[in-house]
Chain A
Amino acid sequence: MARPHIEPFVELNEGYKKFKIPGFIGAEFKTMSLDTDKGACTLKVRFNGGFKRPPGLSYSDLEIFILTGEMHIGGEVCKEGHFLFVPAGVALGATEVPDGCEALLFYNDSEPTFEESDANHELALKEGFVSVNAYEDMPWAGGSIVSPSVATGLFLKLLRFDPLTEAMTFLYCMSPQYIQDNISYHDCAEESYHIWGSSWMMQFGELPTGGYFWRPPYINHGSFRSKLGCIALGRTDSKLHNYFHFNPWSNPEENQSRAAAVLYRQRPQLFRWVQMADGHNHPHGVVGQVETSKPPRDFEFVDYGDHPQTKLLADQNYSFHEHDHLHKDEIAAAHKFAHENGIAHGHDHTSGDHTHDDDEY
């Protein structure tokens, strides 16, 4: 699994650790969540007073949100609430932290990297760079940016929107006495850090200041409450659609199937094209299934399949389907392995109170 479900996690209860990766010496960190395959991660970092770093770049897209204090980057003073999206390979100016600061750092593609450089990498997508003070430079907007939508009383500031994946980074707040009585899940992973205040969800209880979650797709959350309000930084890794329902006991697999049913109802022509009646999919892959290494053609974004985040998302395997028995191809592989390696084995297969129709394996 890419990143496990981390929810709830209150980072204020944890201590900082010293960074030992080059480029980060003098800073301390707390890991909130980590992609154990790629190293992509969300960190809270404390840059102690006097921290200095020469100009340099990362080989991962990087998002920075200043929580407290000031960070001087190439002469720009980034104060509380400052948000940066730094595409991989874009060189940031010399960094200085005169009096200390704390920030959230999101490495979207790999583990934290730093390479000294005063020039952008030749392949850097520098036009994607964002630098904005989320507190001072933007107004709050209503939270109903998608439909079905959240209840009135949730406000947003959209900080970054990825046109390829529709991933979003946003500041949001819930007004005091916020209520939304439904259960939600999404097709995307969702992440949040509570800068101040608390909110409550029926599955996880109260999430206070310093509370954090990384929630994989299709996991129930809600109903929702916020007694005294909260302000938080949120992210999704792809398009957010609110699937609302009122079954507190549905599991991710049932939710996933229900999401497909929604697609069947609401985009029937697309569904019919993707999932053919005879059980194979379009576009055709080597065994008649969707071949993720060759994603469908997009006349607008011709190379989108090579985009790092598209690849990362396509490679992720959130498998909620657990068995105490093996499937046909797994049994065949295990049996072949046993034969080839002289491992003792039987030729009957039963598991629990059922028998498979593939017992010849």
Chain B
Amino acid sequence: MRKNVQDHKPPMGKEAKAWMQDEIAAQEVRYKAIVDEIDGIENERAAWIEEFLRLIQTRGFYVTGDTKRVIPKEEIPKKPNRADAMRVIW
């Protein structure tokens, strides 16, 4: 088995352990704040989706590069009936 420098890493020191603990806790707070912020603009996001669906039926959907395809109305997806339909942070 090939050995790498990473396999020789000394055990984590107490300062690094404390750092990890603090930063994991801070990240949990940061994640929750992001979820709250994004949930708070759900109405705005719904309007952005509406506009996006309108644009791809008029100007077109970007298939690759600048190649576009106008999407016919019958291909436009319907919002699913599930509680997390508007969820974007995973």
Contacts and interface: CB of A to CB of B under 8 A. Distances in A.
A88 B7 CA distance: 10
Contact of A88 (B5, B48, B56, B85): B5
B26 A31 contact: yes
Interface residues of B, number: 55
Contacts of B56: 181, 246
A320 B84 CA distance: 12
Interface string B44-65: 1100110011011001111111
Interface string B1-42: 111111111101101101110011011001100100010010
B70 to A, nearest CB: 11
Nearest to A21: B15
A202 B4 contact: no
Contact of B31 (A6, A39, A41): A6
Interface in A283-329: 303, 306-308, 320
Given A205-B41, A249-B77, A308-B6, A182 B61 contact: yes
Interface in A231-251: 242, 244, 246-249, 251
B53 A89 contact: no
A21 B30 CA distance: 22
A59 B5 contact: yes
Contacts of A198: none
A29 to B, nearest CB: 9
B45 A181 contact: no
A150 interface: yes
A9 B65 CA distance: 28
Interface stretch (A98-106, A129-137, A216-224, A267-275): A216-224
Contact of A123 (B8, B13, B23, B86): B8
Nearest to B57: A246
Interface residues of A, number: 61
Given A219-B88, A219-B90, A252-B90, A20 B64 contact: no
B84 A151 contact: no
Nearest to A87: B5
Contacts of B62: 151, 180-182, 244
A22 interface: yes
B65 A22 contact: no
B24 to A, nearest CB: 5
A258 interface: no
Given A152-B66, A249-B85, A59 B10 contact: yes
Contact of A33 (B9, B27, B71, B88): B27
A5 interface: yes
A248 B63 contact: no
A118 B83 CA distance: 57
Contacts of B60: 181
Contact of B27 (A31, A59, A148): A31
A198 B20 CA distance: 31
B10 to A, nearest CB: 7
B73 interface: no
26 contacts: A4-B31, A6-B27, A20-B18, A31-B26, A41-B23, A59-B8, A88-B5, A88-B6, A110-B6, A111-B19, A123-B8, A144-B65, A151-B65, A181-B60, A202-B48, A205-B44, A223-B52, A244-B64, A246-B53, A248-B49, A248-B53, A248-B77, A251-B84, A303-B2, A306-B3, A307-B4
Interface of B: 1-10, 12-13, 15-16, 18-20, 23-24, 26-27, 30-31, 34, 38, 41, 44-45, 48-49, 52-53, 55-56, 59-66, 68, 71, 76-77, 79-80, 84-90
Given A6-B34, A34-B27, 13 more contacts: A5-B89, A5-B90, A7-B34, A34-B23, A34-B24, A123-B4, A148-B65, A203-B88, A246-B56, A246-B77, A248-B53, A249-B77, A252-B90
